[in-house]
Amino acid sequence: MTGLDSIIEQALREDIHTGDITTLAVVPERVPARARLLAKEPLVVAGLAVAGRVFTTVDAEVRFAPCWAEGARVAAGSLLAEVSGDAASLLQGERVALNLLQRLCGIATLTARYVEAVRGTGARIVDTRKTTPGLRMLEKYAVRVGGGINHRTGLYDGVLIKENHSASAGGIIAAVRRARAYIPHTLKIEVETESLDQVAEALEAGAEIIMLDNMEIGTMRQAVALIDGRALVEASGGVNLETVRAIAETGVDIISVGALTHSARAMDISMLLERG
Amino acid sequence: MTGLDSIIEQALREDIHTGDITTLAVVPERVPARARLLAKEPLVVAGLAVAGRVFTTVDAEVRFAPCWAEGARVAAGSLLAEVSGDAASLLQGERVALNLLQRLCGIATLTARYVEAVRGTGARIVDTRKTTPGLRMLEKYAVRVGGGINHRTGLYDGVLIKENHSASAGGIIAAVRRARAYIPHTLKIEVETESLDQVAEALEAGAEIIMLDNMEIGTMRQAVALIDGRALVEASGGVNLETVRAIAETGVDIISVGALTHSARAMDISMLLERG
Amino acid sequence: MTGLDSIIEQALREDIHTGDITTLAVVPERVPARARLLAKEPLVVAGLAVAGRVFTTVDAEVRFAPCWAEGARVAAGSLLAEVSGDAASLLQGERVALNLLQRLCGIATLTARYVEAVRGTGARIVDTRKTTPGLRMLEKYAVRVGGGINHRTGLYDGVLIKENHSASAGGIIAAVRRARAYIPHTLKIEVETESLDQVAEALEAGAEIIMLDNMEIGTMRQAVALIDGRALVEASGGVNLETVRAIAETGVDIISVGALTHSARAMDISMLLERG
Amino acid sequence: MTGLDSIIEQALREDIHTGDITTLAVVPERVPARARLLAKEPLVVAGLAVAGRVFTTVDAEVRFAPCWAEGARVAAGSLLAEVSGDAASLLQGERVALNLLQRLCGIATLTARYVEAVRGTGARIVDTRKTTPGLRMLEKYAVRVGGGINHRTGLYDGVLIKENHSASAGGIIAAVRRARAYIPHTLKIEVETESLDQVAEALEAGAEIIMLDNMEIGTMRQAVALIDGRALVEASGGVNLETVRAIAETGVDIISVGALTHSARAMDISMLLERG
Amino acid sequence: MTGLDSIIEQALREDIHTGDITTLAVVPERVPARARLLAKEPLVVAGLAVAGRVFTTVDAEVRFAPCWAEGARVAAGSLLAEVSGDAASLLQGERVALNLLQRLCGIATLTARYVEAVRGTGARIVDTRKTTPGLRMLEKYAVRVGGGINHRTGLYDGVLIKENHSASAGGIIAAVRRARAYIPHTLKIEVETESLDQVAEALEAGAEIIMLDNMEIGTMRQAVALIDGRALVEASGGVNLETVRAIAETGVDIISVGALTHSARAMDISMLLERG
Amino acid sequence: MTGLDSIIEQALREDIHTGDITTLAVVPERVPARARLLAKEPLVVAGLAVAGRVFTTVDAEVRFAPCWAEGARVAAGSLLAEVSGDAASLLQGERVALNLLQRLCGIATLTARYVEAVRGTGARIVDTRKTTPGLRMLEKYAVRVGGGINHRTGLYDGVLIKENHSASAGGIIAAVRRARAYIPHTLKIEVETESLDQVAEALEAGAEIIMLDNMEIGTMRQAVALIDGRALVEASGGVNLETVRAIAETGVDIISVGALTHSARAMDISMLLERG
């Protein structure tokens, strides 16, 4: 996974910097040890390879054995992975490995709840750009592990024409025309709409994806009918676990949820260390 | 704030990379615009200067005017700041600025709730190393804004002797002696304890801070009495908004709370853009 | 343009490194000078802002005045821009500025010749990933300036299923299905085909873009008829200035040309310096 | 080769960035494959180790077996190298490896044609600073492989006093004196001249290399006679495959050719992949 | 040791840059060789692992065998380490390895002389922030090897309130109060004093370390009596090998010596290479 | 000076890292202050612009006024420069500015003593590659300020054929021939010799510089006579302030002195701060 190494190196530098002085002062060199990573609550597993990579970055001789495939749903108390190697290396990698793993499991677990909530409808759960600065790639990975799909990665690989954009260009139709002339032919054009009139305009403009932004359930249903398969339909705004099912049942194709990444809480996972 | 610029540059690169193609395609050059950042829920303000720096990094000519001092408590609907400049620049900075601001306000707001919960006791709320990889410096800043104080920044600027460390060294007393011989004389030595026996041993070893890890309320009270002012006392583990008051009332000096940084949800803040 | 500064800084470092020793040794400090950038042959202008940025990176007080808009076609002997400032700064920026400008004008000029060659057909000229390592963003910019459009930027923002991919997945239909489940919904799926059978399979799979790879003119024409507007059609392979018109006349939408970036020669541009 | 790794890492990041989504979506993990790199036209081999390094950077387990030594002249259809390993790794490295290899073979091949053109004269072919920003070290390597030699690497490791430098210093003699007092004693001083008078002045100044810039053939011959072995003589300007022989026959020692690096076209090389 | 690799890579890049042209030109590939690192004067060994890391960074196949533990005192003529591997690799690593090793041995040796000079008193020798930019971590390591201990690493992990700080805050007592409210509870607060009145004020403020800056021996003795074990006492200023014993005998706990790092001369160490 | 900014940024990061906590805690924002940099002993000024750049890197609004030109010889007590601006900024830049300035003045002062010692002979004092890792460019600058000249910057911009190189190549003559064929024609070739026989061989090989390594004074005199102006002559090894005059009087052109950079002690310079 391109970029993963620099995230891990930066995180280790942030934590260890000039040295783990407690370990350097207190722990003898070359003491073999083993540790177990344990889920303290039920969760969807995401990021075990990332956690493993943290330990092997600290010390290439550490062995990390994951017990589950990514995406597995595990019960509280489950053993997630075993780590073995030099005690000092395990102590130095512990916090960074857990910080990443707890966050990724948190995102995958929350995503899975949304996916579950819309099961049986045609709607798919997607993420947004409301991610943690520096960790977007990993967080979007966790969304996929949880069963969601990804929206554009950033401003560079997708076109989303919002109100402000189209106003600048003289309307949705002009904006879509300009975008078509500029962007790679490999990208679809998405238009954000706030009313049925705008939906109609986006359709006429040839938008390939139409976002219904903060619409009432009833309006969404009308929009879906109006679009009638001529574009992908994305619902956005006001989505939470209480509302997502009703939104899905309007017939939209895609529901984007910022909370997946900006408000997932860390899962409770701990590392138990014992002498080797 | 050292390091802030590289966090912001990395976050912008992550989002914009080779270019904001929607804006490049659709928005004419040099359209003046203004935007308002609005709190959609009550919150403690943290990170306005950070958000401002995002916009001025995108475009040095953007003007950013914060409406509140850091640490202010504001009501839902409050105007947090005004931004003006080239429309394209505001659109390009928006998401990164909000991602950082929403997170920092979230941490400060949650910290303030913990601080409020222990008001009148002698206890202070401190953070942990359970922070977002890459953002520790900013998250610890938000904890201070919320009224907490910081634990060590990383493994390099504080000594915390845990069970595994002292076991390696042949007991707490030997571990503290080793640490004293190695570390700068400017750092205090903290020892993690899980029983009153260990507390007594840490005291004898001359630990300057004693952490009571996952102890029962009653045991904590006994530990405080046993220590009797000869070391700072830190409570850790099982802390949440329901339990924190009772913990504080045992007489501990410091209560460390991982949730401040690993599980604060983003505050709801939005940016409204209008033509200049 | 995100990334431009790091390209320029790297190029200047490569050329100047520990210092321009000739200028340091020989040229007195603070001698005002002016220079003119001249086209020694007819060309399409691309990269003047890039060249200007080189000089202002060397010395923020240099003034750079471009004489043409990007995309202008100019005659041999045309003045492209004027530069003024400290003589030492102009001498230090000269080579890097010209190296970039000559290359970008070369690409834009060659692209314009291809665009001219297909004028009146519906076909558009697009680039490929056959770019200079490290300069892709700039080279794709020059293609747009020359009237072409861009294919995907890299492996991360577009899907192109080649023979080897579909063979691994058990055929084109399975491959497209897998891609659909994995990628952002904002991206179109392109399938490379080498025969009419494969074209039919790609259509059935729902490919949004079908590449005709190294096909005979007659076969291309049949493919266009078969596809009949249900997908974008891209011709690839064996394209040069002799063949491009005939390919365009088969009715394909897109013609991709590796030579635009991998074999454009540098335009002849020189800088004449005189005392200020 | 110092610096090679960072060129390759940057090129791979540019192409792959957050991931090769086609391969990630479509190709199963761990499918063994083999590929052959084939010359589609006659060429001088340069950069096979560079191409190999691209693949092993993607995946340390890929095996790359070159079939020729650097500098070999091969016929159209020749097998250049064999690559084997995980199919996904081969697909991810292919484009970057070819982009570098095609360029380096292009430069070596063009250099070899110039070297051939002057065979039997005493003149040597050298490159210039008209290289691709970021790739100078590799391109100068390819020139050596093609039989040329290198001029200074950049402004920091050679002294070339041009008209503008000497005018600033009050003439060639003063300029050379200043340079001698400033630069390491390990570097020769080169002076650019445009007339026989300037040649005489450079000789008097003690220049160790004299560049004849854009001189007529006859004037060059006179300059060579005038210098008479007291300095190295370099011809520059107006050099192409038609003129280079005549220039060489004037008796100059060195002929510098910008086109070697700024206008060599990519050689046609392709990679054929098959299941392992 | 976190950060060591980047110091070494930077140093090698500084020295080798685009290539060791003498070795590339003259030395055949793959010639086995051995070399011995020899102390040409008596010294305290520090940095052998660093020197070894230089060679293995140049070439992972080089073998480096240290002959002494860090901190050993060796006589003139002693063999410090043996290195074996490719001759070109040994030649390329030699200068950087020696530059680092000679400096670190110099610091450890000088530190050991200071430590020796205060033997039998209770005082410990500590370093300062007067280190070589970029090498602080390594230089502080060498001080520890020589028997000293470290002061704070930088401005970020220790509090030292000087005259200028307390004047800004309205006196020592206010300054200490502000610091206590801001800094991690894991750090001690140090106050710099220049008179007995200031010592008394620092004591009242609760400073945990009191620095006696440039005081007369007699005044120091009075200060030690006044403090009477309620804070650590650090002497600073005017310390050299002639004065350090008398300072130590005043009863201070800590003596900080800038010369340890800013003026230690390089130890004379050479590398003798022979064919393998 | 290319590279200076990254040295300064790295040094400030090393010292300040996550923040100057004393100043952040204690000093109010925006307190104007002035400071004077004072020489506490006689010295040759070098690096004032570097020190100034440290302060303006911390805070672009600081004003730095040097009182002397580089290379000036000043008495003890001299005012070197005045700095004014925000008190916090002066406190944060102080240590790094002094660490660099004290070192550079130390090198320039020591160099000037060597230059003085050979005055009237034809010999010039040059530095070596025995510099501080990461600071070579600055240290070589200080040597020039002190009146010395620079040897090659690194392994990449000069050729020095040592015993080990020529042995690998089959003798000095073969080694020089190989070097001539490989290196840029702009570089001179230097050969290290340890006997008059080797000197004769180097002359025959056409070496442009001949180093006399660790030779007796008498042998050096013979070598100078033997070479008789056909190559530059460099003396190396065993050079100190006691021996350098006699070496110079043998008639060598160049004397290289490692101590200039590896063993110059820091000059005593302090900064006095007062409220603005």
Is A13 at the interface with chain E, CB within 8 A? yes
Tens-place pLDDT, residues C47-58: 999 999 999 999
Low-confidence ranges of chain A (pLDDT < 50): 1
Is F48 at the interface with chain E, CB within 8 A? no
How many structural domains is chain C composed of?
A: 2
Q: D242's torsion region: left (phi>0), alpha (psi -120 to 50) or beta?
A: alpha
Is F225 at the interface with chain C, CB within 8 A? no
Give the Å distances, CA to CA, from E258 to E109, E151, F23, F96, F271: 15, 11, 22, 14, 15
How much is the average pLDDT of C135-142? 97
Q: F86's torsion region: left (phi>0), alpha (psi -120 to 50) or beta?
A: beta
Q: A197 CB contacts (<8 Å, ≥6 apart)?
A: none
Inspect the interface and report whether the beta carbons of B153 and F18 lie closer than 8 Å: yes
Q: Are residues C164 and C79 in the same domain?
A: no
Q: Which of F20, F182, A28, B125 is nearest to D124 (CA)?
A: F182
Type and span of the H or E element at F85: strand F79-86
How much is the average pLDDT of D47-74? 98
Q: B267 CB contacts (<8 Å, ≥6 apart)?
A: B39, B40, B41, B43, B102, B105, B106, B109
Residues of B in Cβ contact (< 8 Å) with C145:
none
| E228 carries an active-site annotation | no
Catalytic residue among E34, E95, E144, E221: E95
The answer, yes or no, to whether residue F1 has pLDDT greater than 60, is: no
How much is the average pLDDT of D95-105? 98
- Total number of residues shown for chain A: 276
φ, ψ at B68 (rounded to 5°)? -140, 155
| E130 carries an active-site annotation | yes
Inspect the interface and report whether the beta carbons of E209 and B185 lie closer than 8 Å: yes
Q: How confident is the model at residue E206 (pLDDT cuts 50, 70, 90)?
A: very high
Please give the pLDDT value at position B164. Answer: 87
How much is the average pLDDT of F212-224? 97
The answer, yes or no, to whether residue D171 has pLDDT greater than 60, is: yes
Q: Are residues F186 and F64 in the same domain?
A: no
Inspect the interface and report whether the beta carbons of D25 and C135 lie closer than 8 Å: no
Selected residue of B153, B185, B253, B255 to mutate for chain E interface (largest E Cβ count, 10 A): B185
Q: A228 CB contacts (<8 Å, ≥6 apart)?
A: none
- Reduced to 3 states (helix: H, G, I; strand: E, B; else coil), residue D110 is helix
The span from the CA of C98 to the CA of B248, in Å, is: 69
Is E19 at the interface with chain D, CB within 8 A? yes
Instruction: Please give the interface size between D and F, counted as residue pairs whose CB atoms are below 8 Å apart.
Output: 79
Residue F256 neighbours by CB distance under 10 Å: 21
Please give the pLDDT value at position E29. Answer: 84
Selected residue of A143, A178, A185 to mutate for chain C interface (largest C Cβ count, 10 A): A185
Pairing of β E254-256 and β E124-126: parallel
Inspect the interface and report whether the beta carbons of E137 and A16 lie closer than 8 Å: no
Is C185 at the interface with chain A, CB within 8 A? yes
- Total number of residues shown for chain B: 276
Tens-place pLDDT, residues F86-104: 999 999 999 999 999 999 9
φ, ψ at E58 (rounded to 5°)? -65, -40
Q: Are residues C92 and C131 in the same domain?
A: no
Q: Are residues A226 and A206 in the same domain?
A: yes
Question: And the tokens for F187?
Answer: 């570089």
Instruction: Assess contact for D102 and D233: CB atoms under 8 A.
Output: no
Q: What sign for the dihedral angle of Cα B275, C4, C8, C13?
A: positive
Please give the pLDDT value at position C79. Answer: 98
Selected residue of E1, E2, E7, E139 to mutate for chain A interface (largest A Cβ count, 10 A): E2
Q: Which domain holds residue A229?
A: 120-262
Type and span of the H or E element at F137: helix F136-145
* Closest partner CB to B187 (pick from E144, E188, E254): E188
Inspect the interface and report whether the beta carbons of C17 and F1 lie closer than 8 Å: no
Give the catalytic positions of D in this structure.
Answer: 95, 130, 162, 192, 213
Give the Å distances, CA to CA, from A181 to A177, A178, A221, C71, F64: 6, 5, 32, 15, 52
How much is the average pLDDT of E143-166? 96
- Radius of gyration of the CA atoms of chain F, in A: 23
The answer, yes or no, to whether residue D248 has pLDDT greater than 80, is: yes
Q: Are residues D234 and D252 in the same domain?
A: yes
Is E13 at the interface with chain D, CB within 8 A? yes
Chains contacting C (3+ CB pairs below 8 angstroms) = A, B, D, F
The span from the CA of C245 to the CA of C233, in Å, is: 16
The span from the CA of D20 to the CA of C179, in Å, is: 12
Q: Are residues D173 and D253 in the same domain?
A: yes
Q: What angle do helix axes D48-58 and D4-16 make, rounded to 10 degrees?
A: 60
Type and span of the H or E element at E217: helix E217-227
φ, ψ at F269 (rounded to 5°)? -135, 135
Is F263 at the interface with chain E, CB within 8 A? yes
Please give the pLDDT value at position B104. Answer: 98
Inspect the interface and report whether the beta carbons of A182 and B28 lie closer than 8 Å: no
| A40 carries an active-site annotation | no
Q: Are residues A250 and A268 in the same domain?
A: no
Q: Are residues C147 and C257 in the same domain?
A: yes
Q: Are residues B241 and B268 in the same domain?
A: no
The span from the CA of C11 to the CA of C248, in Å, is: 38
Is D69 at the interface with chain F, CB within 8 A? no
- Kindly give the confidence (pLDDT) of every residue in chain B, 276 residues in length, as a single tens digit, with 9 standing for 90 and above: 458 999 999 999 999 999 999 999 999 888 899 999 999 999 999 999 999 999 999 999 999 999 999 999 999 999 999 999 999 999 999 999 999 999 999 999 999 999 999 999 999 999 999 999 999 999 999 999 999 999 999 999 999 999 989 988 899 999 999 999 999 999 999 999 999 999 999 999 999 999 999 999 999 999 999 999 999 999 999 999 999 999 999 999 999 999 999 999 999 999 999 876
Q: Give pTM, 2 decimals.
A: 0.95
Instruction: Assess contact for E210 and E202: CB atoms under 8 A.
Output: yes
CATH at residue E30: 3.90.1170.20
From E12, which residue of chain D is nearest by alpha-carbon distance?
Answer: D2
The span from the CA of D32 to the CA of F125, in Å, is: 62
φ, ψ at A253 (rounded to 5°)? -90, -30
Chains contacting B (3+ CB pairs below 8 angstroms) = A, C, E, F
The answer, yes or no, to whether residue D170 has pLDDT greater than 70, is: yes
Residues of E in Cβ contact (< 8 Å) with D1:
19
Tens-place pLDDT, residues C193-227: 999 999 999 999 999 999 999 999 999 999 999 99
Predicted interface score ipTM higher than 0.85? yes
Q: Which of D211, D200, D261 is nearest to D236 (CA)?
A: D211
From A187, which residue of chain C is nearest by alpha-carbon distance?
Answer: C187
| F162 carries an active-site annotation | yes
Q: Are residues F174 and F258 in the same domain?
A: yes
Q: Are residues D84 and D105 in the same domain?
A: yes
Please give the pLDDT value at position F30. Answer: 87
CATH at residue D245: 3.20.20.70
Give the Å distances, CA to CA, from F248 to F115, F144, F244: 10, 19, 6
Give the gap in angstroms from C-alpha B5 to the nearest C-alpha of chain A.
13
E runs forming strands in E23-136: 32-39, 43-44, 63-66, 73-74, 79-86, 124-126
Give the gap in angstroms from C-alpha B148 to the nearest C-alpha of chain A.
20
Catalytic residue among C192, C201, C234, C253: C192
Please give the pLDDT value at position C130. Answer: 97
The answer, yes or no, to whether residue E1 has pLDDT greater than 50, is: no
Is D2 at the interface with chain E, CB within 8 A? yes
Please give the pLDDT value at position E140. Answer: 98
Inspect the interface and report whether the beta carbons of E12 and D1 lie closer than 8 Å: no
Residues of A in Cβ contact (< 8 Å) with D23:
none
Q: Are residues B71 and B147 in the same domain?
A: no
